[in-house]
Structure 1
Amino acid sequence: MNLTPDSKVLVQGITQPLGSYHAARMKAYGTNVVAGVSAGQGGQELHDLPVFDLVEEACNYAGSVDATVIFVEPYNALDAALEAIDAGIGQIVLVTSGIPPLDIVRLLQKAQFTDTLVIGPSSSGIIVPGKLLLGTQESEFYTPGSVGVITRAATLSYEIALTLTQAGLGQSIAVNLGSDVIVGSSFLQWLQVLATDENTEAIVLVDQTGGGSEEATAQYIAEAVDKPVVAYVAGRYTPVDKQVGNASAILAAQLSGPVTNASTAQHKVAAFKKAKVPVAERPSQIPELVRKALKK
């Protein structure tokens, strides 16, 4: 990750209602939004930003672009992301949800080959409180500080941020990985980023049922992360044969096969505890565990 307040940001799908609204919010927050892209809508201005038909045209106008936030329709999202990669943009936030899984597989293959960071799909993006907003994060819940937050559930991340803020624990960065079954960047990748981030002193990891990478994540924390890490797993008391998440994630998970013990919240909690990672039983307990971990 290479994001600063000076990073140049593009908004793809800026003439879409959601893209237009959040482009204005990002710009008002101080994000250096330089242009927008909407096929067939080039030549106009929106929120004092030039709109182009092609990503390449926007990059030529801006000189270079560091990150793009994509709001286009699900079946156009793959083409939009591939266009951004071909233009040399190294960081992509996919706000769009409901993207066909095979499209995401194709995108991630290309991203891996080109060393592109993909966040999402179905992500509320990234916020560096007081400095930078990429996506749809609700900034009023955040305050500048030194606690990094990595989460799969967008709405829950606001509750966590508010709980930390009310406890006087500001945040260095908050990243929503996305709630679809197949997503780009992982907990492991962002732990690697925050483990070396000089502005982050502690990390809060918020997971939910579904998926099965918690053993690798927990092992990495135990072996390679010197900073305090606190975990919270949503759905801890959900019955074993049930899943939580948004509608598309639940449907996709059910179509892929039965719920296994390895994807339950209980299994994830056990994996984190085995690695001696403190696990909160409820969001309100997180600030207490963070403070306790920082004192060690």
Structure 2
Amino acid sequence: MSIILDQSTRVLVQGITGKEGSFWTKHMMDYGTNVVAGVTPGREGQNVAGVPVFHTVKRAVRNIPVDASLLFVPPRFAKEALLEALEAGIKKVVILCDGIPLHDAIQMRKAALNAGAMVIGGNTSGIISMGQAMMGFFPYWLERVYRPGRIGIMTRSGSLTNEITAEVVRTGFGASSLIGIGGDPVPLTRFAEVLPLFQEDPDTDAVVLIGELGGTMEEEVAEAIEKKIFTKPLVAFLGGRTAPKGKKMGHAGAIITAGKGTVKDKIFALKNAGALVAERPRQVGILLESVLTSKI
């Protein structure tokens, strides 16, 4: 089983005829993703790897049932593309681009919440249900990283994800679903909003959280554990431990402001709630092994 996405999910790709859109659409289909339609204004009648292209999302869903949409669009067009998908009734959307204007992102999150939709991104590699389907760009052919299993993974960091997931695999585990929350200042879906999906998934035994300094998403995870919203084992690794206060590191969302968002505070909150926190990436698999073995 998986969360958000599986082989039966009917996926629409907005921006399918662009260089990145067409390239990754083919890879997604090779992996098993059920891509049923694409959208590029002015390109209706064309096809990409056999996938029909339409002028608009509305015209696409009028002809073909769609469950989810993946956006290969520049950041300045992301809000318009998302609103088009939401207005067509699509409830699952992944937005890959980074640098979405702040005011646009705020409006996009509000629109998604009002529509009851789950919108992942921006500034993300996407989501992948191991061995089934993906929406985004993942080098799934790397078996040392992308092995199916029973560990859910949530991440803000694309650079750390492969390293830590490889440690999970090296210890003998694999992943059920990997969700890239994204690194922009306004994540359109937050860690704590994904946790209930992993909680309900009978094929996820534990969750690995890959966080970093800045924001309060990791503290929200700690609150969800304390409130018993999430009761499975959780192992976390947080990047940016040595970042000086007020210094932005990498992601636009990774900045300490107003005395909040330090890694130290996040670690304290997670440990206090009962989560395990790795000091180094290679310890993530070891901690998983210890907590899951103790449950047998």
| TM-score (ref. length: structure 1) | 0.93
Greater relative contact order (Cα < 8 A, sep 6+): 2
Q: d(CA) in 2 for partners of 1:281 and 1:274?
A: 16
Question: Which residue does 1:81 correspond to in 2?
Answer: 82
1:31 aligns with 2:33: yes
1:269-294 Cα deviation digits (max 9, x unpaired):
11111212110001100011011111
In 1, are the aligned partners of 2:5 and 2:134 still within 8 Å (CA)? no
1:179-204 Cα deviation digits (max 9, x unpaired):
00001111101111101111100110
1:175 aligns with 2:179: yes
In 1, are the aligned partners of 2:93 and 2:118 still within 8 Å (CA)? yes
Question: Which residue does 2:193 correspond to in 1?
Answer: 189
The offset of 1:122, in angstroms, is: 1.0
The offset of 1:123, in angstroms, is: 1.3
In 2, are the aligned partners of 1:209 and 1:243 still within 8 Å (CA)? no
In 2, are the aligned partners of 1:128 and 1:172 still within 8 Å (CA)? yes
1:237 aligns with 2:235: no
Of residues 141-150 and 216-225 in structure 1, the stretch that sits farther from structure 2 once superposed is: 216-225
Task: Label 1:50 to 1:138 Cα distance change in 2 as closer, same or farther (>3 A).
Answer: same
1:286 aligns with 2:284: yes
The offset of 1:213, in angstroms, is: 3.4
In 2, are the aligned partners of 1:69 and 1:94 still within 8 Å (CA)? yes
1:161-219 Cα deviation digits (max 9, x unpaired):
11111221111110000100001111101111101111100110111011023333202
**Which letter maps to 2:192?**
L
- Aligned identity (percent) is 37
The offset of 1:65, in angstroms, is: 0.7
The offset of 1:241, in angstroms, is: 3.4
In 1, are the aligned partners of 2:5 and 2:128 still within 8 Å (CA)? no
Q: Tell me the number of residue pairs that the alignment of Structure 1 and Structure 2 aligns.
A: 288
Question: Which residue does 2:105 correspond to in 1?
Answer: 104
The offset of 1:28, in angstroms, is: 0.8
Unmatched tracts of structure 2, length 5 or more: none
Question: Which residue does 2:123 correspond to in 1?
Answer: 122
Q: d(CA) in 2 for partners of 1:241 and 1:231?
A: 23
The offset of 1:99, in angstroms, is: 1.2
**Structural mapping, 1:126-141, within 5 Å:** 126-139=127-140, 140=142, 141=145
The offset of 1:223, in angstroms, is: 2.8
Question: Which residue does 1:227 correspond to in 2?
Answer: 232
In 1, are the aligned partners of 2:215 and 2:253 still within 8 Å (CA)? no
Task: Label 1:131 to 1:91 Cα distance change in 2 as closer, same or farther (>3 A).
Answer: same
In 2, are the aligned partners of 1:262 and 1:268 still within 8 Å (CA)? no
Taking only aligned residues, the RMSD between alpha carbons, in angstroms, comes to 1.5
1:89-122 Cα deviation digits (max 9, x unpaired):
1000000111111111111111111101010011
Q: d(CA) in 2 for partners of 1:190 and 1:88?
A: 21
In 2, are the aligned partners of 1:243 and 1:259 still within 8 Å (CA)? no
1:113-172 Cα deviation digits (max 9, x unpaired):
110101001111111110011111222221010000001011211111111112211111
The offset of 1:16, in angstroms, is: 1.6
